[in-house]
Amino acid sequence: MLSRRTTRLLLGLVLLLAAATRLANIPGVFVGGRVLIWDEDSAYHWHRASLAAARYPKVHTFDWYTNYPTGARMMWPVGFDLALATVVRLVGLVSGGRIPPLVVGVLFDPVLGVLSVLAIYFLGRELGGRAAGLAGAAIAAVLPILTGYSMVGRIDHHAIEPALAALPLALLLHGVRATSDRGRSRTAAGLGVLLAAEIGVWPGAIAAGVLAAASLAVVALWPPRGCDREALVAFGRRTFGVAALVILPIVLAHPWAAVGSFAYYAPTWLQPLVFAASWLSFALAGSSLRRRPASRGALAAALLLVPLVVAVTGVALSPGLRHTAASVLGYLDRGDVQISQVFESYPLLNFGLGTAVQQYGVMAVAFPVLLVALGVCGWLATPGGQLGARIALLWFVVTAGMALGQLRLGSQFAPLWCALWGAAWAYAVRRVEQRAGHHGTVRLAAVLVGLAIMVPTLRLHHLTDRPPQGDLVRSHDALVWLRDHAASPGDVNQPEVRPRFAVMSRWEWGNWLITVAHQANIANPFAQAEVHLRGVRAAAAFFLATDPAGAVHQLEQLGARYVLVTPVFYEIEDVARQLGSRAPRLVVAHSGASLQPTPAFYATMNSRLLVFDGLEVRLEGKTLPPLRRLRLDFESAAEGTEPGWEGSFCKVFEVVPGARIEGTGTPGERADLWLYLVTNRGRHLTYHDRSTAGASGGFEFTVPAAMAGEDGAVRALGPYRIVAGSREAEVAVAESDVAERRTVGIGPEAWRAAAVSPASR
């Protein structure tokens, strides 16, 4: 048996290994004197935490800058961001402000990742002793499913989720096997506090509460020989009684409680209901056991039927609970069309067994062996071992199903996976030592075998300079232009104050718009809640629209002043799903699985803006006029592609009222208008439109661009040129004319003989 001193030394080395794997991408985060945040969720977490640090301890739970024009209640609990804000303030105080807050932010997740490895050590120790804990922690230190969520540069609650899964199970195993009533009672109270507190960090932690209640109910109904059934029921009653009380202030601190929500994706009344129903179940079970003779049927009714009756009654009486039930099923089935675009939401085996091996190590192929071994231990081990194995078996099966259903839910399965393999390794070493002796040699051989098994995984953790999310890198200059040169909607650091307008983009850019561009968004990555999905659907409807007038009207209704447009073809099916049956047919299957765009794809607003710059275009023999209310302001330096096109990855357009140019000619006479433009990249464009004189001889144009323009943006190279019949005129349009929809007339003195004959136009 390992001594405490040796255990601490080895555990310290394992934690250093965990830190090293999570810091492997330092060169990709600290670049050229800048600190780069990894992804869009991390960006908003940092925005929220840095605001909380400045306004400590206030963490905003409503933001007008997200889901404009209604704003939205935040789905994320305050716990993670408040903890980060606290650390930022403490580090600033201790360092005298010498350490930049963002450096603290990007290192916070690696620290949480190391703490999660420590939590897995405690879980492994409960399952098989100190050696099992060390082995499980060593696996967790390098396992990609765990390291990926806690790499340097990420600022996200996912980093602490493994600890939120491991600690409740470790406490539960410790408590049910405690030898004294006092120790069992204290552990139950601690577990109740932990289960409630976790909801303040991640609402998905309700899974740990449900599993704790279910596993206690199962072992109380079918306890191993010699186990005290009444003690198990009392443990459950105390645990969930404490949890039901502690959860109340956490729920009341969030805005969803005020509207009576029972949603699963935020701290709502759902979590207190689950804890209260669990407490009631164990309380009634305790009453049935105190009767003599105790009735097994009454016990089963209390433990199994009471939660079922509460659930069915709640769903029958509460529309909120019905909606939650449907939403949960949709989420697990990736029915949420936004979730369906996220790689992490795909089933683990969707891309083959190789994905499972990469995420969980080569041990993934031995999954059935571990499952069978755990089941055998549940019935053949010592009574204490049987109790722990039966509880672990239920957690293992349920969390494995979660991980198989969605890759991201592996954070709930991986801690037990690591701990069980650690326990299996420790057990095998003990057995060999008992037979062969030579403890030192056996342990060295075991370590070498373990390293050999983990070599493919260890090779993944070399020093890299992988940049943050590619979409951010390719659109960063456009986001900076929106921040520094576009009109300001207000102060993003005052989320309680409604901004004046927003930017229309697809949801992937929503958080970047707030954190980098300092603009309000209409669609964002939060998903799940209906208020957030409204913006996602609105963005899909705009970018796939083929009616420019209707699309511009939609922008005006939503209060959008700018549009940020990016390539969409390779995500077109997922984006179209957001519209359901209203989606136009934009792609066709070609050559097996390959997709090709239909002509309608190039008529969508996304293509009209990105591919054709909002200019006049001829499609399928028809000339489509320019987008007269949308003007190109900026295009990114990075390149992007759509089928048959290559150009700037990201373009920014402005929604303008447009100036009116009016002139007179002969009734029925055609008039043409030209404006020559140059983009910030030096690309030359020609804006062309046409009109026909009415019965009175008058014609008019609505134009989006003005003569004035600044360096670094799209600007005109001269005035508008209008040709009507054999005459031509030049017209200067000011920015105020465009912004206020003023009319600019062409007087008789402005006309002169046209240099180009009408026949050549």
Per residue in 687-699, pLDDT (tens digit) is: 999 999 999 999 9
* Together in a domain, 713 and 630: no
Most confident among 421-430, 460-469, 504-513, 582-591 (mean pLDDT): 504-513
The answer to whether residue 571 is domain-embedded is yes
Provide the 8-state DSSP code for 160: G
What's phi and psi for 653, nearest 5 deg? -115, 150
Looking from the CA of 9 toward its CB, the CA atoms found within 13 Å total 5
Q: Which of 321-335, 405-419, 561-575, 730-744 has the lowest mean pLDDT?
A: 321-335
pLDDT-based confidence at 83, cuts 50/70/90?
A: very high
Cis peptide, bond prior to residue 69, ω within 30 of zero: yes
Contacts of 680 (CB under 8 A, 6+ apart): 634, 635, 711, 712, 713, 714
Domain of residue 475, CATH code: 3.40.50.12610
The answer to whether residue 752 is domain-embedded is yes
The residue-averaged pLDDT of 200-218 equals 95
In the chain, what is the straight-line distance between the N-terminal and C-terminal CA atoms, in Å?
93
- Note the helical H segments in 143-228: 144-147, 161-176, 181-199, 206-221
Give me the pLDDT at residue 341, please.
62
Q: Which domain holds residue 706?
A: 656-760
Whether the predicted pLDDT of 761 surpasses 60: no
* Together in a domain, 646 and 665: no
Give me the pLDDT at residue 758, please.
44
Compute CA distances 338 → 66, 166, 330, 332, 367, whole Å: 16, 29, 11, 13, 31
pLDDT-based confidence at 477, cuts 50/70/90?
A: very high
Give me the pLDDT at residue 533, please.
86
Give me the pLDDT at residue 760, please.
46
The residue-averaged pLDDT of 438-460 equals 76
pLDDT-based confidence at 593, cuts 50/70/90?
A: low
Give me the pLDDT at residue 712, please.
75
Q: Which is it for strands 743-745 and 34-35: parallel, antiparallel or unpaired?
A: unpaired
The answer to whether residue 308 is domain-embedded is no
Separation between Cα atoms, residue 208 and residue 190, nearest integer Å = 14
Give me the pLDDT at residue 751, please.
93
Q: Three-state SS across 334-371?
A: CCCCCHHHCHHHCCHHHHCHHHHHHHHCHHHHHHHHHH
pLDDT-based confidence at 406, cuts 50/70/90?
A: confident
CA 578, 581, 582, 585 torsion-angle sign: positive
pLDDT, tens only, 618-649: 998 999 999 999 999 999 999 999 999 999 99
* Together in a domain, 515 and 616: yes
The answer to whether residue 642 is domain-embedded is yes
Contacts of 117 (CB under 8 A, 6+ apart): 14, 15, 18, 137, 140, 141, 146
The answer to whether residue 240 is domain-embedded is no
Which residues on neighbouring strands pair with residue 672, listed in sequence order? 690, 723
pLDDT-based confidence at 333, cuts 50/70/90?
A: low
* Together in a domain, 598 and 662: no
Q: Which is it for strands 752-753 and 727-731: parallel, antiparallel or unpaired?
A: antiparallel
Separation between Cα atoms, residue 622 and residue 435, nearest integer Å = 86
pTM of the entire structure? Answer: 0.92
Give me the pLDDT at residue 463, please.
66
DSSP H or E run through 745: strand 743-745
* Together in a domain, 739 and 666: yes
| Better-predicted residue by pLDDT, 338 or 602 | 602
Cis peptide, bond prior to residue 110, ω within 30 of zero: no
Give me the pLDDT at residue 756, please.
61
Check residue 195 and give left, alpha or beta (phi > 0: left; psi -120 to 50: alpha): alpha
pLDDT-based confidence at 557, cuts 50/70/90?
A: very high
pLDDT-based confidence at 608, cuts 50/70/90?
A: very high
* Together in a domain, 547 and 675: no
* Together in a domain, 618 and 645: yes
> Which position has the token pair 């073809």?
569
Give me the pLDDT at residue 759, please.
42
Of 621, 654, 687, which one is at a domain's C-terminal end?
A: 654
* Together in a domain, 493 and 632: yes
Give me the pLDDT at residue 218, please.
92
User: Apex CA 229: angle with CA 225 and CA 233, to 5°?
Assistant: 150
> Which position has the token pair 């309000």?
520
Contacts of 57 (CB under 8 A, 6+ apart): 82, 85, 86
Separation between Cα atoms, residue 279 and residue 275, nearest integer Å = 6
Separation between Cα atoms, residue 156 and residue 41, nearest integer Å = 7
Number of domains in the chain: 2
Give me the pLDDT at residue 677, please.
96
* Together in a domain, 518 and 647: yes
CB 78 within 8 A of CB 254: yes
The answer to whether residue 605 is domain-embedded is yes
- pLDDT cut 90: percent of the chain above it: 65
The residue-averaged pLDDT of 8-16 equals 95
pLDDT, tens only, 366-397: 888 888 888 888 776 777 788 889 999 999 99
State the amino acid at position 195 in one-letter form: L
| Better-predicted residue by pLDDT, 39 or 188 | 188
Strand-by-strand arrangement of the 743-745 sheet: 698-703, 659-664, 743-745
- pLDDT cut 70: percent of the chain above it: 94
Cis peptide, bond prior to residue 293, ω within 30 of zero: yes
Residue 239 structure tokens: 């645990």
* Together in a domain, 666 and 590: no
DSSP H or E run through 611: none
Separation between Cα atoms, residue 117 and residue 416, nearest integer Å = 11
Separation between Cα atoms, residue 413 and residue 403, nearest integer Å = 6
| Count of CB atoms situated within 10 Å of the CB of 170 | 25
Give me the pLDDT at residue 438, please.
66
> How far is C-alpha 562 from the geometric centre of its chain's CA atoms?
24
The answer to whether residue 551 is domain-embedded is yes
pLDDT, tens only, 255-281: 999 999 998 889 999 999 999 999 999
Separation between Cα atoms, residue 385 and residue 179, nearest integer Å = 14
Separation between Cα atoms, residue 49 and residue 44, nearest integer Å = 8
Domain of residue 732, CATH code: 2.60.40.3390
* Together in a domain, 649 and 662: no
The answer to whether residue 677 is domain-embedded is yes
Give me the pLDDT at residue 720, please.
96
Residue 673 CB-density burial (10 A; 0-12 exposed, 13-18 middle, 19+ buried): buried
Residue 289 CB-density burial (10 A; 0-12 exposed, 13-18 middle, 19+ buried): buried
* Together in a domain, 692 and 558: no
Summary mean pLDDT of the chain = 90
Nearest to 653 by CA among 532, 551, 734: 551
The residue-averaged pLDDT of 196-202 equals 97
Of 595, 626, 654, which one is at a domain's C-terminal end?
A: 654
Residue 757 structure tokens: 């004959």
Of 654, 672, 687, which one is at a domain's C-terminal end?
A: 654
